[in-house]
Amino acid sequence: MLRGFYSAAAGMLAQQRRTEMLSNNIANANTPGYKVDQGTLRAFPEMLMQRLEGVQSPAKNGGNLRTASNIGGLNTGVYMQEFVPLFKQGDIRETGLTTDVALVNGNLPINPDTNKPGSLFFTVQNANGDVRYTRDGNFTVDAAGYLTMNEGFYVLDENGNRIQVESDQFEVTADGRVLVGGQAQSRVGIAFSDNPLNLIKEGNGLYRTNDGAELPNAATNPEVSYTLKQGFLEGSNVDVTQAMTEMMTAYRTFEANQKVLQAYDKSMDKAVNEIGRL
């Protein structure tokens, strides 16, 4: 019966984590460039139950030998293993702001190991010089004239340098060249990851590599194509209707596990307080 307590509690915890994930997705439905998280539920490792027995040794003055016989497998419940972002292109919407830039996917080669296409990212840098990657093109110009994200990260060009535009009177061409006063100053750095699932999500739409190595420049890869659209933003790829449906399913599943736990609790109460008196 105690195993039933653990299994029901594990189910409740898994659905609670799933609900938190779905709530975060819905809260970021209007966040530019946000990639929806998907949860994976896995069963705990199955255990093989054995019965220990004692057998008297036939030898003279023999002792008691310990033997074990298999009873069967035991599953100990379910858990939320991880959150996996879905790197699908979000809707492109027009804002009319020159500092907004949308990264539109073109041809992206399929990774033979995952059978999924890679993903493109803007390259940004924090004040400490650490490189991060994002799909959020909601940029702004700081007091020093540098193109930055709202979180204070500097937008980098293809050579890893900060892009200085002086004011919001600049142009970004479809191939990423930054024009100030009609003159090309730099080119927006676009990174390509052949397996974006290896990236670590930091929050605020930022990602980093797990080993600290920088992703390759997408412009130098002949198999990769993309387009930049100034005055547009990529929205999140959250399907609010689907997320709400999944949240209701998670809530109902949580309730079902809760009722199982309550039933076990009543059975245990009866066993202790009533059967135990006999």
Could you report the per-residue pLDDT of 114-139, keeping only the tens digit for each? 899 999 999 999 888 899 999 999 99
pLDDT surpasses 90 at 65: no
Q: DSSP states of 192-215 as a string?
A: EES-GGGSEEEETTEEE-TTSPPP
DSSP H or E segment with residue 103:
strand 101-105
Q: pLDDT at position 44, please? A: 65
In whole angstroms, what is the distance from residue 167 CA to residue 214 CA? 29
Confidence tier at 188 by pLDDT (50, 70, 90): very high
Q: pLDDT at position 257, please? A: 87
Strands 101-105 and 226-230: antiparallel
Q: Checking phi first, is residue 182 left (phi over 0); if not, alpha (psi -120 to 50) or beta?
A: left
The predicted model gives 172-177 an average pLDDT of 94
In whole angstroms, what is the distance from residue 72 CA to residue 148 CA? 60
The per-residue pLDDT for range 91-116, each reduced to its tens digit, is 999 999 999 999 999 999 999 988 99
Task: Report which residue type is found at 208.
Answer: R
Report in angstroms the alpha-carbon separations of 11 from 15, 42, 138. 6, 11, 39
Q: Which two tokens stand for residue 194?
A: 């052949």
The per-residue pLDDT for range 22-52, each reduced to its tens digit, is 999 999 999 999 999 998 777 766 655 666 6
Task: Report which residue type is found at 12.
Answer: M
The per-residue pLDDT for range 204-246, each reduced to its tens digit, is 889 999 888 899 999 999 999 999 999 999 999 999 999 999 9
